[in-house]
Amino acid sequence: QVQLVESGGGLVLPGGSLRLSCTASGIIFSINGMAWYRQAPGKQRELVATLSSGGWANYADSVKGRFTIDRDNAKNTVYLQMDSLKPEDTAVYYCYVTRRGIDYWGKGTLVTVSS
């Protein structure tokens, strides 16, 4: 069974950094496109970053220049490096992957940016 487990969330000051991890079982990230989504309180879930199987990354305008998506094939893990964090980045962050037409989501990890 496919399972995605996020980690690395927590409380950080504005301007600080945080690195999220998503480790998968039952699926190989190196041959699948991956993505990070987030959902802030009272808002719709939004796409944050994508990483194709070929290594191409795309970002939402709101995080360009501040966030970086990457993966470690040996660890079957995808990362989201978040720098220059803003209070507006506060949200539950979710790892996402699709396999054979089926969508898979992690349970999420909470990121709180506050002074």
pLDDT for position 43: 96
Distance CA 113, CA 101 (A): 35
d(C-alpha 29, C-alpha 44), whole Å: 26
Residue-level pLDDT, tens digit, the chain, 115 residues: 899 999 999 999 999 999 999 999 988 877 778 999 999 999 999 999 999 988 899 999 999 999 999 999 889 999 999 999 999 999 999 999 988 889 999 999 999 999 9
Tokens 């990362």 belong to 79
Distances (CA, A) of 26 to 20, 79, 101: 20, 18, 15
Burial of 45 (0-12, 13-18, 19+ CB in 10 A): middle
Predicted local confidence at residue 36, as pLDDT: 98
Q: Which of the 8 DSSP states describes residue 107?
A: -
**Tokens 């690395």 -> residue:** 8
Query: What type of residue sits at position 48?
Result: V
